[in-house]
Amino acid sequence: MSKRKLYPAIEPFATHRLAVSGLHEIYFEEIGAESGQPAIFVHGGPGGGIEPIYRRYFDPSRYHLVLFDQRGCGQSTPHACLEENTTWDLVADMERIREELGIERWVVFGGSWGSTLSLAYAQTHPDRVMALVLRGIFLLRPEEIRWFYQEGANAIYPDAWEEYLAPIPEAERGDLVAAYYRRLTSDDPAIRAEAARAWSVWEGSTSKLLPNAELIDRTGEERFAEAFARIECHYFTHGGFFDQPNQLLDNVDRIRQIPAVIVQGRYDVVCPMKTAWALHRRWPEAAFHVVPDAGHSGTEVGIIDRLVSATDEFAAL
Ligand code: STX
């Protein structure tokens, strides 16, 4: 059977700005049919922001899709701001958006950090979630952070790793996330920018099964990197603001009754399949699809096929 493709490019029918605290204002947009199945797209990073291509995983004739830029990134302001910026602030923002639009329940769709935040949201507000579509599972446990930012993924990408190490002196390499956090929060804009670029390009260089120059260029852009690196490193330094490292796995019972699809690339180097497997073992009711020829990115051909099939299935719930 031929693989499912993304829906055609589309513009929002409405865009909004919402003050969610004394400090933060977030951007969100509505796509598709106002009377369609409500859904929310939860982007990655944290700090990655939304892209026009993210609108295209949903049939616009059947879905009322909402996309938002999480605090401090994309078109949300202040840019790259770390204050009042935690997982639980973002969960509350999703509720604010839902209430603002008068939506009762929605399909929640997220990849990578988007899967983390989708799970945190669903476990906090299970009654608001009609279905979950999760990709490239990331649970933000210490072993996952260690794998990608300290020791593990460097065995597969030793070349890109050299550039990730470059801004950090040898003496500080025993704890790279801490060394990066000092630089990403430095008062010196040049130090911040150099660290942000190296941190961000490391992820851009490792996210696709085959190297993708466009993604590497995008992750190296100053404005993107500033938010992506600072916000990621802030969340990882704080253990994702979870009470316990295994919180999202331990609380699966709260959401087991929700229809769900998990999609995972076999060769995901950013969020290795071990994590998706642990979630699958805890949650056997959720459909589990391993794409044999894909890495981390949501735009791998086989990943798109599974994700679009899932949203098509949930359009009729
Ligand atoms: N961060 C994983 C994540 O959410 C640890 C993510 N990985 N790559 C991305 O986001 C971009 C596609 C935004 C570069």
Interacting residues of 283 by C-beta distance below 8 A, sequence separation 6+: 252, 255, 256, 260, 262
Per the structure block, which two tokens stand in for 287? 């459909």
Confidence band, pLDDT 50/70/90 cuts, at residue 172 = very high
CA distance 97 to 255: 21
Buried b vs exposed e over 77-92: b needs ≥16 C-beta within 10 Å? Answer: beebbbeebbbebbbb
User: pLDDT by residue (tens digit) across 216-232?
Assistant: 999 999 999 999 999 99
User: pLDDT by residue (tens digit) across 183-240?
Assistant: 999 999 999 999 999 999 999 999 999 999 999 999 999 999 999 999 999 999 999 9
Q: For residue 137, what pLDDT is reported?
A: 99
Instruction: Name the strand (E) or helix (H) holding 31.
Output: strand 25-32
Q: Which residue has a Cα nearest atom 13 of ligand 1?
A: 48
Looking up tokens 């180097």 gives 269
> Is the beta carbon of 41 within 6 A of some atom in ligand 1?
no
- Ramachandran quadrant class, 49 (left: phi over 0; alpha: psi -120 to 50; beta: rest): left
Q: DSSP code of 267?
A: T
Q: Which residues pair with 25 in a beta bridge?
A: 19, 77
> Is the beta carbon of 206 within 6 A of some atom in ligand 1?
no
Q: Residue 202's CB: how many other CB atoms inside 10 A?
A: 24
Q: How many Å lie between the centroid of ligand 1 and the Cα of residue 45?
A: 4
Q: Where do the H-state alpha helices sit in 20-86?
A: none
Q: Kindly state the average pLDDT of the residues 159-181.
A: 98
Q: How many Å lie between the centroid of ligand 1 and the Cα of residue 106?
A: 23
Q: How many Å lie between the centroid of ligand 1 and the Cα of residue 292?
A: 20
> Is the beta carbon of 113 within 6 A of some atom in ligand 1?
yes
Sheet of strand 14-19: strand arrangement: 14-19, 25-32, 63-68, 37-42, 106-111, 129-135, 260-265, 287-291
- Express as a percent the part of the chain with pLDDT over 70: 100
Burial class, 172, CB count within 10 angstroms (exposed 0-12 / middle 13-18 / buried 19+): middle
Question: Would you name the residues annotated as active-site residues?
Answer: 112, 268, 296
Cβ–Cβ under 8 Å, residues 139 and 177: no
Strand duo 63-68 + 14-19: pairing: unpaired
CA distance 107 to 40: 6
Q: DSSP code of 302?
A: H
- Ramachandran quadrant class, 138 (left: phi over 0; alpha: psi -120 to 50; beta: rest): beta
pLDDT at 1 over 80: no
Q: Under CATH, which architecture does the 14-142+241-314 domain have?
A: 3-Layer(aba) Sandwich (3.40)
- Looking at this protein, which amino acid is placed at residue 26? I
Q: For residue 295, what pLDDT is reported?
A: 98
Q: Which residue has a Cα nearest atom 14 of ligand 1?
A: 204
> Is the beta carbon of 138 within 6 A of some atom in ligand 1?
yes
Q: How many Å lie between the centroid of ligand 1 and the Cα of residue 304?
A: 16
Per the structure block, which two tokens stand in for 63? 């879905």
> Is the beta carbon of 207 within 6 A of some atom in ligand 1?
yes
User: pLDDT by residue (tens digit) across 107-161?
Assistant: 999 999 999 999 999 999 999 999 999 999 999 999 999 999 999 999 999 999 9
Domain ranges of the chain: 14-142+241-314, 143-239
- Express as a percent the part of the chain with pLDDT over 90: 99
User: pLDDT by residue (tens digit) across 42-73?
Assistant: 999 999 999 999 999 999 999 999 999 999 99
Using CA of residue 296, residue 299, residue 301, residue 304, what is the dihedral sign? positive
